[in-house]
Structure 1
């Protein structure tokens, strides 16, 4: 095990090429810069790599992933809704509203004017019209405009250029003070200012409430006092469904700010489940998630938007797409059943201060899926060092153990671990799942009391 990280990366090339994970570098994906504002000093490199699928079918010229974030309209465009025709088998009656991520017993925080977007049609006939679903859900979908600063190198040194990019968001919760909007981390990354545009074209400034780069999720809050009463009475909290019960072949609808032109609608089916897709975030961390695949059209600007079922329930948060001339209909969304608890944590908690930040007390290395197969150890965080006197040390975590779970979340990387811990204060006792190196990597769950930082471990 101690030899894991001493091997040349080239030795794993064959295993990676035969992996079921579609993996791409940061410079091979659209990170959200407006196509209208490309720097003349960008190298323009968008090389596509070759990968294979886990089902044994090789993908010739497999795609570069375009993080669906991108195109900004320099001016505000009027929202459009383009609903494509398709046969749908819809339920007979309206489905009862499923509560959003706000807890059921927290009724004192609910603003009475906010209804719930169910989007279920009353029609009992097979229909080519999905307008009722769209019209019911549109008030729960917003446009997110990110204004930031991009740095680039020139002959004269480092220069800065204002950038503007567009994405989407889903209203998932509301209390007396704020509306909470779920979106992608890459949609809000690097923002100097965020503008939230509601379905009636009313634009309000938003604030990043929390982010989790390890799963590309974020929550943006908008103060209720900043929202005009007419808009407040018209918006809806989205109905969150159960993606665990989603099956291949069922109807799918995508709603979001496609191309930065305003909110639009596309439809199709769920074409695959549990597709592992890897991209590199802005910090260079490789983010791998198990996503829902759909053939409903996904375009730049749809990031953070909703993937819906035929009941109008959100079953996924649109995140990425495969983009290549010979590839069509391969968009991906983060399953809502996975995302809900993470979103709720960001709604309920603030990032702890540096003074109160918790510290596990290890130096770790990522065990990727390729390394897991090669060395027959679990995916997770390999413990390369344990700091004496830390919570990890006191709990008995040892060098060469692998951390696979933390505080109820699956751990796949150091980045995941850090994102979980940013909301947990020092002194908190958490459950940590550890695969023991001296027990053939058999997992056990132990209690660890997190401490304050003792020493910075490289």
Structure 2
């Protein structure tokens, strides 16, 4: 009997073991494709550490008081550190990231997945598009990511983000493509980021500049922004890779991008505007003026038209239209749909080059106090909401933290004498004659407000 009892116990134990083993090997042959994507892609994703140097603002009155007793105050600077992500696109060491990740960088350091560290050189980029290219000098063969086709994305397909959120190197998050063609306002209120990819793959500070991948390991977007986590969870945005592909070669070759130009003065259609002008639509962009010989004029766009779509994307504001146009390179053919007296008409437009870039102006601006300016264009007025009657030069690059890109400088005061600034020639004449020790006041318009920035030029 004892032997029978032992046999029963042994049999029960074997059955229990088989049961456990069978539970442990559920889906034993399953291979997660995301694991394979990460194995191939992660080595080409880099951590970007940036040191930024900014000038410390010193009140002019304090500066003058100090000067009377102790002499001039040397210009003061402070350094700050930030982290972002990027991905390698060529064996030569070119890396794509966001412009805001490397903006104003004094030093850029790139760290690979294997721990290799490189100093990186800033090649160029564009703040409006939020795209930049940096370069390292490789000491060995580099892994490279393949670029996909973001125009073929479908809602619900897999999305894989790799980056360095909050400095945690090479973090992988997974979700789906939640939507395409999204627009979000820029933090400085100067316009919109348009045609973005929305995903629920978790994106956090530090992910910026990293790749958004499809299930084939191809880059479909550049992770760039998130909704404030106190307002919503898992709503992130990426720049479509097809947008970036239009400009990357330009940036590598010249350090900047050549942007497209439509050539219309426009304003957002509001209820009041629609009723006062008898418009047949309540949303869109009203064309108040068409520049002579511009791409818009050549295509047949007229004053009084309401632009409602560009290449099939619905347009609801002047800033959105400008941002959409700037997503293309000069020479691109687009379809512009207008509402003309209640009838929708689609026109083929070959976009031109911004006048400030196409050589129409024989005068180039001189840099002063970290500011680079250009003559105002119709697109500038739309992008930065510059009033029609305001003349001046628009800030295109700013290395100081006081006057931002998009500000319109209309007057400069030197030692109490004021000079109106209506174009680059006026700007050059004034800044050419500024000397060390002069007291300067720069009058500018930005985001609906007139301001003056005053300082003693050292």
User: TM bucket by the smaller chain?
Assistant: 0.5 to 0.7
Residues of 1 paired with 2:104 and 2:267: CA distance?
Answer: 26
- Deviations along 1:192-237, one digit per CA (max 9) or x if unpaired, are 44333333332222223332624x3x131415xx322x3xx1x211
Residues 211, 344 of structure 1: CA spacing in aligned structure 2 closer, same or farther, 3 A cutoff?
Answer: same
| Helix, strand or coil at the partner of 2:148 | coil
Matching of residue 125 in structure 1 with residue 29 in structure 2: yes
Q: Identify which of 220, 223, 226 aligns with 2:133.
A: 220
Match of 2:94 in 1: 180
Match of 1:259 in 2: 166
Matching of residue 142 in structure 1 with residue 46 in structure 2: yes
Residues of 1 paired with 2:235 and 2:221: CA distance?
Answer: 14
- Give, in angstroms, the shift of residue 392 of structure 1: 4.8
Counting only pairs closer than 5 Å after superposition, residues 140-219 of structure 1 correspond to structure 2 as 140-150=44-54, 160-174=77-91, 178-199=92-113, 200-211=115-126, 213-214=128-129, 216=130, 218-219=131-132
8 A Cα contact 1:317 1:333, kept in partner = yes
Highest CA radius of gyration, 1 or 2?
2
RCO (CA 8 Å, sep 6+): is it higher in 1 or 2?
Answer: 1
Matching of residue 332 in structure 1 with residue 237 in structure 2: yes
Residues 397, 153 of structure 1: CA spacing in aligned structure 2 closer, same or farther, 3 A cutoff?
Answer: same
Residues 149, 362 of structure 1: CA spacing in aligned structure 2 closer, same or farther, 3 A cutoff?
Answer: farther
Counting only pairs closer than 5 Å after superposition, residues 226-245 of structure 1 correspond to structure 2 as 226-228=137-139, 230=140, 233=141, 235-244=142-151
Structure 1 gap segments, 5+ residues each: 1-122
- Deviations along 1:90-132, one digit per CA (max 9) or x if unpaired, are xxxxxxxxxxxxxxxxxxxxxxxxxxxxxxxxx9932469554
| Helix, strand or coil at the partner of 1:173 | coil
Match of 2:202 in 1: 297
Aligned length: 310
Q: Identify which of 409, 414, 422 aligns with 2:322.
A: 414
- Give, in angstroms, the shift of residue 448 of structure 1: 6.5
8 A Cα contact 2:246 2:328, kept in partner = no
8 A Cα contact 1:210 1:219, kept in partner = yes
| Aligned CA-pair RMSD | 4.4
Match of 1:270 in 2: 176
Provide TM-score, normalisation by structure 1.
0.54
Residues 326, 287 of structure 1: CA spacing in aligned structure 2 closer, same or farther, 3 A cutoff?
Answer: closer
Residues of 1 paired with 2:327 and 2:126: CA distance?
Answer: 8
Residues of 1 paired with 2:338 and 2:182: CA distance?
Answer: 26
- Give, in angstroms, the shift of residue 345 of structure 1: 5.2
- Give, in angstroms, the shift of residue 141 of structure 1: 0.8
- Give, in angstroms, the shift of residue 274 of structure 1: 2.3
- Give, in angstroms, the shift of residue 444 of structure 1: 0.6
Residues of 2 paired with 1:247 and 1:416: CA distance?
Answer: 21
Residues 386, 280 of structure 1: CA spacing in aligned structure 2 closer, same or farther, 3 A cutoff?
Answer: same
Structure 2 gap segments, 5+ residues each: 1-26, 64-74, 362-374, 378-387, 389-458
